[in-house]
């Protein structure tokens, strides 16, 4: 097993699995940020595996996940805005999730860039990294915005408030 694959397994065990647990249990306010964190970390795991198997072609799923993961999170925020506004997540935990992805993305992408060397593959890696950072940033912002919009509103206008 190469070092890259070992790193992927470690990230899977210590990053993706706890994040997935957070997204699978608990209230909606925890699930939405945790879901976004899971997609970000899984995308990094895929990048590590691609390097470990020596197959640049395997980065395509990571690329797709880097754009569709935040899209999924934003959909959740949009459709569950009422529940998020009713029970807003703590700003500190949101900040922690964002900080975690901010550190994890460069910590994985930059060594991969060094390993691949300059070229088309490196540009692709950097694009994925930028998309991941932007995605996790906007996910946190969207949650905050949904919460403040919900407080400004008088009643649930649209959405799925639990009856």
Interface with another protein (CB under 8 A), residue from 5, 88, 113, 122: 5
Q: Which is nearer to another protein, 112 or 131 (CB)?
A: 131
Neighbours of 47 (CB within 10 A): 29
- State the binding string over 35-74 for another protein (x if CB under 8 A, else -): x--xx--x--xx--x---xxxxxx-xx-xxx-xxxxxx-x
Contact 47, 109 (CB under 8 A): yes
Q: Which stretch binds another protein (CB under 8 A): 30-38, 85-93, 94-102, 109-117?
A: 30-38
Distances (CA, A) of 48 to 11, 41, 92: 9, 11, 29
x/- letters, 80..119, toward another protein (CB under 8 A): x---------------------------------------
Q: If 0-12 CB within 10 Å is exposed, 13-18 middle and 19+ buried, where does residue 101 land?
A: buried
**Token match 């306010």: residue?**
29
């Amino acid at each position: 097993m190469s070092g890259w694959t070992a790193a992927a397994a470690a990230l899977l065990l210590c990053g993706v699995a706890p994040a997935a647990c957070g997204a699978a249990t608990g209230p909606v306010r925890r699930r939405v940020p945790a879901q976004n964190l899971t997609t970000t970390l899984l995308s990094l795991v895929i990048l590590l595996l691609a390097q470990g198997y020596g197959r640049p072609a395997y980065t395509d799923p990571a690329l797709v996940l880097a754009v569709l993961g935040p899209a999924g999170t934003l959909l959740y925020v949009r459709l569950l805005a009422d529940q998020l506004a009713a029970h807003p997540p703590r700003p500190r935990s949101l900040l922690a999730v964002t900080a975690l992805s901010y550190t994890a993305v460069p910590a994985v992408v930059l060594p991969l860039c060094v390993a691949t060397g300059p070229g088309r593959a490196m540009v692709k890696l950097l694009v994925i990294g930028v998309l991941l950072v932007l995605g996790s940033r906007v996910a946190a912002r969207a949650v905050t915005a949904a919460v403040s919009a919900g407080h400004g509103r008088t009643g649930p206008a649209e959405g799925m408030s639990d009856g």
